[in-house]
Amino acid sequence: MNMNPLSISSVKVASADSQPLTLREGQMIHGKVQQLFPGQMAQVQVGNQQLYAKLEVPMQAGDTYYFKVNGTEPEIQLQVIAGPMRGSEGLTGQLAQLTESLNLPKTAEMKELLAAVIKQKFPMTKENLLDAANLLKNVPDGMKEQALATLGKMANMRLPFTPAVFQSLMQAQTGTITQSLTSLQSALQTEQNLAPAIREQILNALQALANPASQSVGKELLGQTITQLLNPQTSKGDRFAALQLLKTAGILPAQTSLANLPQAVAQLMTQSSDAKAPAPQQPQIATNQAAGSLVASGKVNGSVRVQVDGTAPSTSSSAATQTDQRVNMDSQAATLKAVQALLSKLSQTPAAEQQTAKTIIQNLAQQINTNPILPESAKVALQTVINQISQQPVMNDSVKAAFIEQFSQTFLQQVSGLSSVNSVAPRDVQQALMALVSIPPDQADETLRMLIQNAERSGNTQLKQLVQTAEMQVSQAMNGPVMKEAIQSVLSTLGFNYEALLNGKEPNLANLANTLKPQLLTLLQDPSLSPPLREAAETMVLRMNGTIIQTAETSVQQQLIMQVPLELFGKKIDATLQWNGRMKENGQIDPAFARILFYLELEALSTTLVDMHVQNKVVNLTIFNEQESLRTTGLTFQTMLKDGLEQVGYKLSGVSFKPFTETPQSVKKPVGSLYTDEGGVDYRI
């Protein structure tokens, strides 16, 4: 065996990919001599990249070799460890060469591993080979092919060859995440040695996963419940039931009654803005640009903070004129919050400040009349209330209090009633409504979940009907925002990024503790768990870890993989998403270029693969599915897709439909075979 070194004194990379070839000392790589040049120079192809190297041993163009990286500084030093390898030698000869040259054990596992290395050409060191062979020992025969593919992924991603990483990646490719969750739920329900409180907590998380659109349904239900409560045409019994529902969900104070409802609503409408009002004698004068920045920076989880800039109340007429004129209007929802902010400021204005109060009311009328959300009927109702107080010669405390109560109740009723019978209220209206009734963003999920549960358990048939109506409206209006909210809800409930959030700034420990992953990690510390439950919990944790491990980032490329179980109104979807994109020079994701794969298991359409290319904001879709009717059905939505993409700055190039059987190789699940160093997507169909 020729073990002489191959010195690369000067390296030039010729590749369509601008990334330099990354080699590690001790790594074994496969290379092919493409072309010989004078002066003992040769073009050697390694993967999809080409090196120009100076040879110190004779080689022949067309031959392939295995090299060991002996060094990378100050120049790359490669040592021939096996070769030349020609097709005539066959796999057996190549296996013998590698085994002998690397002094590897001649076990069945090592033979299988080396055969995979030769076939797939993934980079390995001798230590990697030894560790990988040990990992293969405990793998059942029926899973060897999958295990070898996993080891190849670990090599390509430069992951440590440890049992934890190996098992996590294996679980991420075994079955579906829905099957893992079903097994976990079944094991929990039959476990004898589990405290009832722990069982209920984990089952609650699983129930939340089964209703990922509950937040959208809850927002619709919130609007309908408030509308029922504030509608004078509704029966007293139904209004009382709506009141009790809002109280048990913590949205209205416990002491609220139908008798003191106007006062409670007025307090609710003004209290959230009070805390944000500027302190006296601290004027906050800002330019329009700065005001816009305040609104932009105030967006947290979909809510919008609105700040009213101006001087503190003063006896000066000019100062009063400036009060509350600077209201941020960067979004439609912000204008609704601006009304609340003005109402709050009016409640704080002393009775002696008549001109200031009148200015605030004038601004209220202007906000209502220019509001793009409110329909004309709502503007008329609110303007009527404003006209009544404008006719008062003196605005004393009792007159002002009565106006705030009446205006607050009318305003809240009109906003909550923006959801029509056949459609879902706009997302910004829903967010504004939640802000108006002082539901903090970090408590929204729990509050809305409690609202739905209490309505379903209520003995009032009207409340149950409201839940059904809300579910029907959300299911019929299933769109991008609703789906996005559902996916975010699932990922949050699973606790995929639990460790990252725990390590972040001021983590919300209470919310994190309610997610599934930390609950399972705590559960696994219990030595009394039965083997079935321990196995189900470990499988679920490993699956979540495997998904995270496959997310990779380099200086210019980024890969993100997610497995999401979705159950929407009785329809189950197992979705695996892989996103590959590149980073801009400032470290941000470049939205103009991406490759996205959606691997879907659908009840009606079965296995479906959507391959989405984004090149300079031009989108091309290829959809793989065995049902021929999908082409006809899918094309009817093409105009809608085109319009939707154009609204967000993208152009649709085309949509094509293909069967999986178009080429002889079978489809591979994205999480099992899609990683490449170059950031591309290497799937087989």
Q: What's the pLDDT at 554?
A: 55
Measure the CA–CA gap between 497 and 551, rounded to whole angstroms: 12
Residue 2's closest CA among 116, 78, 90? 78
List the structure tokens of 55.
């040879």
At residue 537 the predicted structure's pLDDT band, cuts being 50, 70 and 90, is: very high
Q: Return the ∠ at Cα 208 (arms to 204 and 209), rounded to 5°.
A: 120
The label of the residue with tokens 């994190």 reads 512
- Given a cut of 80, whether residue 568 has pLDDT beyond it is no
Provide the residue type at 589 as one letter: I
Measure the CA–CA gap between 451 and 454, rounded to whole angstroms: 5
pLDDT digits (tens, 9 = 90+) for 357-372: 888 888 888 888 887 7
The answer to whether the bond into 5 is cis (omega within 30° of 0) is no
Find the mean pLDDT for residues 5-18.
Answer: 45
Q: Return the ∠ at Cα 118 (arms to 113 and 119), rounded to 5°.
A: 95
- Regarding predicted confidence, which is higher, 211 or 331? 211
Share of residues in the chain with pLDDT > 90 (%): 6
Is residue 135 within 8 Å of 144, Cβ to Cβ?
no
List the structure tokens of 590.
């470049």
The residues near 95 (Cβ < 8 Å, ≥ 6 apart) are 111, 114, 115, 118
- Given a cut of 70, whether residue 22 has pLDDT beyond it is no
- Given a cut of 90, whether residue 328 has pLDDT beyond it is no
Measure the CA–CA gap between 365 and 118, rounded to whole angstroms: 76
Residues in the chain: 685
Is residue 518 within 8 Å of 181, Cβ to Cβ?
no
pLDDT digits (tens, 9 = 90+) for 636-663: 888 888 988 898 899 999 899 988 865 4
CATH fold label, 550-673: Transcription Regulator spoIIAA (3.30.750)
Find the mean pLDDT for residues 110-116.
Answer: 86
The label of the residue with tokens 């059942």 reads 140
Angstrom CA distances, 313 to 320, 323, 402, stand at 6, 7, 21
pTM here? Answer: 0.61
The residues near 647 (Cβ < 8 Å, ≥ 6 apart) are none
Measure the CA–CA gap between 622 and 613, rounded to whole angstroms: 9
Provide the residue type at 649 as one letter: G
Among positive and negative, which fits the CA dihedral 32, 34, 37, 43? negative
For the chain, the structural domain boundaries read 1-103, 252-438, 550-673
Which range, 496-500, 516-520, 571-575, is most confident?
Answer: 516-520
- Regarding predicted confidence, which is higher, 2 or 136? 136
The residues near 619 (Cβ < 8 Å, ≥ 6 apart) are 612, 613, 645, 650, 651, 652, 653
- Given a cut of 80, whether residue 386 has pLDDT beyond it is yes
Which range, 284-288, 341-345, 581-585, is most confident?
Answer: 341-345
DSSP 8-state class, residue 255: T
Measure the CA–CA gap between 387 and 622, rounded to whole angstroms: 59
Is residue 75 within 8 Å of 9, Cβ to Cβ?
yes
Find the mean pLDDT for residues 609-622.
Answer: 91
List the structure tokens of 612.
């989405």
Angstrom CA distances, 251 to 191, 296, 442, stand at 37, 27, 14
CB atoms within 10 A of CB 502: 12
The residues near 639 (Cβ < 8 Å, ≥ 6 apart) are none
Q: What's the pLDDT at 423?
A: 52
The label of the residue with tokens 């979909």 reads 302
Q: What's the pLDDT at 648?
A: 87
Ranges 22-26, 64-68, 349-353: which has the least confidence: 22-26
> Residue 360: enclosing H or E segment and its boundaries?
helix 354-369
Q: What's the pLDDT at 207?
A: 83
Q: What's the pLDDT at 285?
A: 26
List the structure tokens of 511.
């919310």
At residue 291 the predicted structure's pLDDT band, cuts being 50, 70 and 90, is: very low
User: What phi and psi values does residue 80 have, to the nearest 5 degrees?
Assistant: -70, 125
Mean per-residue pLDDT of the chain: 74
User: What phi and psi values does residue 327 have, to the nearest 5 degrees?
Assistant: -110, 125
Ranges 95-104, 159-168, 213-222, 260-269: which has the least confidence: 95-104
Q: What's the pLDDT at 331?
A: 47
DSSP 8-state class, residue 66: E
Is residue 71 within 8 Å of 28, Cβ to Cβ?
no
Q: What's the pLDDT at 76?
A: 64
Q: What's the pLDDT at 590?
A: 85
> Residue 42: enclosing H or E segment and its boundaries?
strand 41-46
Angstrom CA distances, 536 to 135, 210, 340, 496, stand at 21, 18, 50, 17
Find the mean pLDDT for residues 31-45.
Answer: 76
Give Cα 170 distance to the centre of its chain: 23
- Given a cut of 80, whether residue 72 has pLDDT beyond it is no
Provide the residue type at 565 as one letter: P
Find the mean pLDDT for residues 577-599.
Answer: 83
Provide the residue type at 33 as one letter: V
Measure the CA–CA gap between 403 and 385, rounded to whole angstroms: 7
CB atoms within 10 A of CB 153: 23
- Given a cut of 80, whether residue 129 has pLDDT beyond it is yes
User: What phi and psi values does residue 278 have, to the nearest 5 degrees?
Assistant: -65, 145
Ranges 42-56, 311-325, 337-351: which has the least confidence: 311-325
Q: What's the pLDDT at 139?
A: 86
List the structure tokens of 472.
């029907």
List the structure tokens of 663.
């080429």
Find the mean pLDDT for residues 199-223.
Answer: 85
The label of the residue with tokens 């493409």 reads 34
Is residue 630 within 8 Å of 623, Cβ to Cβ?
yes
Measure the CA–CA gap between 88 and 109, rounded to whole angstroms: 25
User: Three-state DSSP class for 323?
Assistant: coil
Q: What's the pLDDT at 333?
A: 56
pLDDT digits (tens, 9 = 90+) for 153-165: 888 778 888 888 8
List the structure tokens of 593.
């270029």
Reported as half-sphere exposure (CB side, CA atoms, 13 A), residue 30 has a value of: 17
Which range, 17-31, 441-455, 612-626, is most confident?
Answer: 612-626
- Given a cut of 70, whether residue 273 has pLDDT beyond it is no
User: Three-state DSSP class for 79?
Assistant: strand
DSSP 8-state class, residue 303: B
pLDDT digits (tens, 9 = 90+) for 661-671: 654 344 444 44
